[in-house]
Amino acid sequence: MSAIDVRDLLKAAGQPGAATPVPQPLPLHDAARGPSRGGQTEEAPAAMNAAPSSPFLSAVVLTGSVRLAEFGGLVLIGFALHAALLHGKVPLAPRYPAAILAVAFAAIGLFQASGCYRISAFRTLPKTALKLVTGWSIAFLMVTAAMMLAKVSDHYSRIWLLSYFATGFAALMGSRTALATFVRIQVARGRFDRRTAIVGGGKVAEELIGALHAAGADSGIRIVGVFDDRGDERASNDVAGYPKLGNVSDLVAFARRNRVDLVLFTLPISAEARILQMLAKLSVLPVDIRLSAHATKLRLRPRAYSYLGDVPVLDVFDKPLADWDVITKNLFDRFVGFGLLLALAPVMLGVALAVKLSSSGPVLFRQKRYGFNNELIEVFKFRSMYVDQCDAGASRLVTKTDARVTPVGRFIRKTSLDELPQLFNVIRGDLSLVGPRPHALQAKAANTLYDQVVDGYFARHKVKPGITGWAQINGWRGETDTSEKIQRRVEHDLHYIENWSILFDLKILVTTPMALLFKTDGAY
C-alpha cells in the first residue's frame, strides 16, 4: 500500500487526518480462556506471550528447505555410489549424471504431487513413508523404462542402480524419521501456527471458527481471540469459546506486544464502511489480512480464493516481507553490512578520533528510536553535539546554525558519517542496510509529532528501519521544519515497502554515496 493509498483509505473510512496514535499496553481479560484443545484449556494472554516468534522458520521455509535438501541429497548419493562402486572401472560419462538428475527430479515431483511436503506429512511418518516408497519406486521405474526404450540400459551398472535405489530409500526414511521428531517438537511449541485474530462476531464468526477447527492441523491456524467494534447487545463476550479481547483499536495495541500473524475478517462485504474504517486502523500492522468467504454470499471461482486448509478466504493485505524474503534480506544485510564495516573501518576510526579530540565526552551517542512494529531499539551514532546539550529524544530539531552542534559534528552530520556506527546495529539485527530511517521518539515537523502530521505514519514500521532508504536518496532527509517534508518522506518509505526487492536495495545502496554528496539540502 502506498502513502497515497493510506490517505485515501483513511478518507474513505471517514477518519480524521491524524494517524493512529502510538498504542499503549492493552489490559487483557484475566479470565479470558480459549476452548479446550487436546484436553487442555488455553489461556489467551499466556498463549500470546509464550509462543515463539521466529521470522526465519515458517512452514513455507521449512517445506522449501526439505524439498531442496532431499533433491541435493539424492543427487549426492548417486554420485557417491558411482565413486565408491565404479571408480576406475566405469567412467562418469554424461549418461550417469543424466540418470541421477532424472531420478532426483522425478522423485521430488512425485513427492510433491502426493503431498509429502506439508507440515502434516512431516510429522506423520507411517502414512508419509508409503507415499515416499511409492514415489521413489515409480521414479526409478520411469527412468529405467526410458533407458530401455532408448536402448541404453546396457550402458548402466545394475549394481549401481540397485544400490542407488536401496541407499536412497534408506536415506529418505532416516532423514524423515529425524524430521518427524523435529517437527513434532516445533508444532508442540506453536512454531508453525499462524496466530490469528478474528475481527467480527456473531453467527458468521462461529461458523468460521467451526470450519477452521474442522480443517484441523491443515489450516495452520491458532486463534488468539476475537475483536469486535460493536458494543451493544449484539456483541457477546465469547464467540465459540474464544474471548472477546476488545475492539479493532485494541487489536492494534495487542499486535504491537504479542505475536499476531493473520487478521481474519468475518464481516460481510456489504459492511463496506465498517471494513474501511477497520482497515485504516490495521494497515499499520505487519500482518496478513484476509476476508472470510463465509461472510459473503458471493461465490467466485476457486482460483479467486486462497485457502486456510479447506476454508476459502479473500486476500486483502499481505505482510511486506515473509518467509524466504525475510531470510534473503537478513542474509543480505549481515553479509554486505559486515563487508562495509571492514571496508569503512579506517574512515570510522578517523571520525572517532576527530570526535574525541574536538570535544570532551564519549565518541558514540546512543538514542532510542522506533524500530520494526514500533519496537524500541537503541541506535548508535558518532556524537555530533556537545555532551551537555545532547537531545536524546530529539524534541528539538537541529537547525542550520544550531549552537549545540560541534564543528566536527556539523561536518559528519552533513556527510552522514555520523550514521556509520549503525552498521553495528545492522549486524546485531536491529536495523537493515536499506529501509525507512528510524525516527527519534519526540521527532517533530513544524512542532508537531510526526504521527500527528501524517496519515498512516506507523505503516512505515511494517519492516525493519534502515541506515539509508528510498526517501534519503531522493533528497528527503535532514530537517523536517514543514509538514510537507515528513509527508513526502513517509510517501517514499511506503513506496519502498510495497516494492521491495534485493535489486531495489542494491540500487539504493549504490545511489546513496552520490545522494550524500549532491542532495544535502536540509542535512545539518
Which of 143, 152, 145, 163 is CA-nearest to residue 103?
A: 143
Q: In terms of domains, do 302 and 401 share one? A: no
Domain containing 87: what range? 59-188
Domain CATH number, residue 245: 3.40.50.20
Q: Three cell numbers at 382?
A: 558518532
Whether residues 338 and 313 fall in one domain: no
pTM: 0.78
According to DSSP, residue 496 is labeled H
Cα separation, 82 vs 77, in Å, equals 9
Grid cell for residue 154: 546396457
Provide the grid cell at 175.
532423514
> What string of pLDDT tens digits covers the 524 residues of the chain?
444 354 455 455 454 444 444 443 333 333 333 333 333 333 333 334 434 455 667 888 999 999 999 999 999 999 999 999 988 788 888 889 999 999 999 999 999 999 999 888 998 888 899 999 999 999 999 999 998 888 887 888 889 999 999 999 999 999 999 999 999 888 888 788 888 999 887 788 888 888 888 877 667 788 888 888 776 555 567 777 888 888 888 898 898 888 899 999 887 766 777 888 888 888 888 899 988 876 665 566 666 678 887 788 888 888 888 888 999 999 999 999 999 999 999 999 999 999 999 888 899 988 888 889 888 899 999 998 888 777 666 666 676 777 788 888 888 888 889 899 999 999 999 999 999 998 877 777 767 777 777 877 888 888 999 999 998 888 887 667 678 888 888 899 999 999 999 999 999 999 998 887 766 565 54
Do residues 116 and 43 both lie within one domain? Answer: no
Domain tally, the chain: 3
Q: Are residues 284 and 344 in the same domain?
A: no
How many CA atoms within 13 Å lie on the side-chain side of 212?
26
- What tens digit of pLDDT does each residue of 349-379 get? 999 999 999 888 899 988 888 889 888 899 9
Do both 398 and 430 map to the same domain?
A: yes
252 part of a folded domain: yes
Same-domain pairing of 104 and 178:
yes
502 within domain boundaries:
yes
**Which string of DSSP letters, residue by residue, matches 103-171?**
HHHHHHHHHHHTT-SSHHHHH-HHHHHHHHHHHHHHHHHHHHHHHHHTT-GGGS-HHHHHHHHHHHHHH
Whether 312 and 345 map to the same domain: the answer is no
Same-domain status, 28 and 64: no
Question: Is 250:40 a contact under the CB 8 Å cutoff?
Answer: no
* Domain end call among 267, 296, 317: 317
Same domain, yes or no, for 34 and 71? no
| Residue 268 lies inside a defined structural domain of this protein | yes
Q: For the CA atoms of the chain, what is the radius of gyration?
A: 28
